[in-house]
Amino acid sequence: MIIGLISDTHIPERAKKLPKEIFEHFSDVDLIIHCGDVTSESVLNDLKKISELLVVSGNMDCMNYPKELEVVIENFKIGIIHGNQIHPRGDTLKMKYLCLEKNWDILISGHTHTPRIKEITVENKKILLLNPGSPTVPRYPLKTIMKLKIEEKKVNAELIPIK
């Protein structure tokens, strides 16, 4: 399964629309996960044209989406949050404890506008922390999205820069 990961689009407040490259990069995905701060239903309508969509609500969203989701894909238990629940932003220790509490193998979050692919090991359990960054208002030198491939009990996350 190929999953497109996106977060912190902030449309139309901080950008007019999604960059066209996103639609090209996500053309082969089976699922898209938006990690919040969508701020406009039009973004979700555009993404739904590509693939099935899961969305969590961010701190800037007024839409009624859950603050947390959990899915199981090929025996990997995946948690999805925006990340404003974890302070300070991107606190690895708090993310680790959240994963241990929920028994998540993978945590996908946003909020920081900074991409992250980090594997941590706790008592022989591997946990993968992912953040796709932002394709419109990054706090990193590049605008980014991410693809997550889950096949044959293997996980591969790829950061994709957007121009």
Task: Delineate the domains of the chain, giving CATH numbers in brackets.
Answer: 2-162 (3.60.21.10)
pTM: 0.96
- In angstroms, rounded to a whole number, what is the distance separating the alpha carbons of residues 65 and 58? 9
pLDDT for res 71:
98
For the stretch 18-64, pLDDT in tens is 999 999 999 999 999 999 999 999 999 999 999 999 999 999 999 99
* Residue-by-residue DSSP string for 28-44: T-SEEEE-S----HHHH
Alpha-carbon separation of residue 145 from 15, 97, 142 (angstroms): 15, 25, 10
Strands (E), the chain: 2-6, 31-34, 52-55, 68-73, 76-81, 106-108, 116-122, 125-131, 143-151, 154-162
Q: Residue 79 has what pLDDT? A: 98
Residues of the chain predicted below pLDDT 70 = none
Predicted confidence at residue 159, as pLDDT, reads 98
| pLDDT value for 87 | 76
